[in-house]
Amino acid sequence: MGSYFDGSQSGPLGGNPSMSGRGPGAAGGSPGFMGLQTSSFTDFLAAHSPGLLPGRVGRSGGDAGISPAVRDLPHATTIVAAVCDGGVVLAGDRRATIGNMIAKRDVEKVFRSDEFSGMGYAGTGSLGIEFTRLFQLELEHYEKMEGRSLSLEGKANRLASMVRGNLGAAMQGLVVVPLFVGYDEDAGQGRIFSYDVAGGPYEEQRFYSIGSGSLFARGALKKLYADGMSADDVVLACVQALYDAADDDSATGGPDLTRRIFPVIATITADGFSKLTEAESERISDQVVRERMSLPDGPAAPLRNGG
């Protein structure tokens, strides 16, 4: 199983029956509690309690339309990520919406996956939380079963198969899309992986963003980001990008100074996953807001370097 997750063998779309995750005889009936010869916690859960997997409820429904109950679920946006010198930065706003209404102002969308990786999500909030928790368990389960952790590509591939497993629910409106980042110990650098509703993954270069405000955030990073930036500078650029996204997208929440609600920001380097404290996020957000008082559209990129 390790070689499957690490990408050296074909994935779920490759048609390799030996990678089904089941031991001999498992297809012939209900296996014992430990009958699945697999390092995958989701395979184990699918065999014993499939109803606990994200998106399984109501997947067989025949109504092609999106029900009002689905439309009224809180949805989360926006997540940004950018590679820094020696790692990667991941940041997310705090707003969740139901249609044009603000459902929650202090949602957390950025989470630790394991020591050297993290993820944020956009889409249906309840499913996003389930995905986050299940993926954390998946990585822990693999490490306990195999005695080693997955490679960063292996983690990205594992998350891709989980997203693909939610395709039926996504077709009914329960869409959740993650943004996965991590520190590659072999390459000594940060990496970013994005997904579509059918799985993916797609490795992104330098920076990326997902969610309803992603176009505006990505546009901001185009002018603010430079290769080789320090983690502190990339954190500042990401907060500037989230501010720009909130400026043009009503579903994205900017820094809320009155309620003291600020973006969730994490860095992942050779030292591991580290989430900025509330005080650190507040300090950076205050700096961005102060600068916007004199420059409402944010800092401008020079047309000529050294000009």
Enumerate the active-site residues.
77
* Separation of alpha carbons 70 and 148, rounded Å: 39
Residue 267 host element (H or E) = strand 264-269
Query: What is the token pair recorded at 92?
Result: 């997310």
Which of 44, 102, 112 is CA-nearest to residue 76?
A: 102
The amino acid at 111: F
Q: Which residues contact 201 (CB under 8 A, 6 or more apart)?
A: 156, 157, 159, 160, 180, 193, 194, 195
Which of 119, 111, 125, 133 is CA-nearest to residue 76?
A: 125
Q: Which residues contact 298 (CB under 8 A, 6 or more apart)?
A: 220, 240, 243, 244, 291, 292
* Separation of alpha carbons 90 and 235, rounded Å: 8
* Separation of alpha carbons 140 and 40, rounded Å: 10
**Torsion sign, CA atoms 285, 283, 114, 53:** negative
Tokens 């928790």 found at:
133
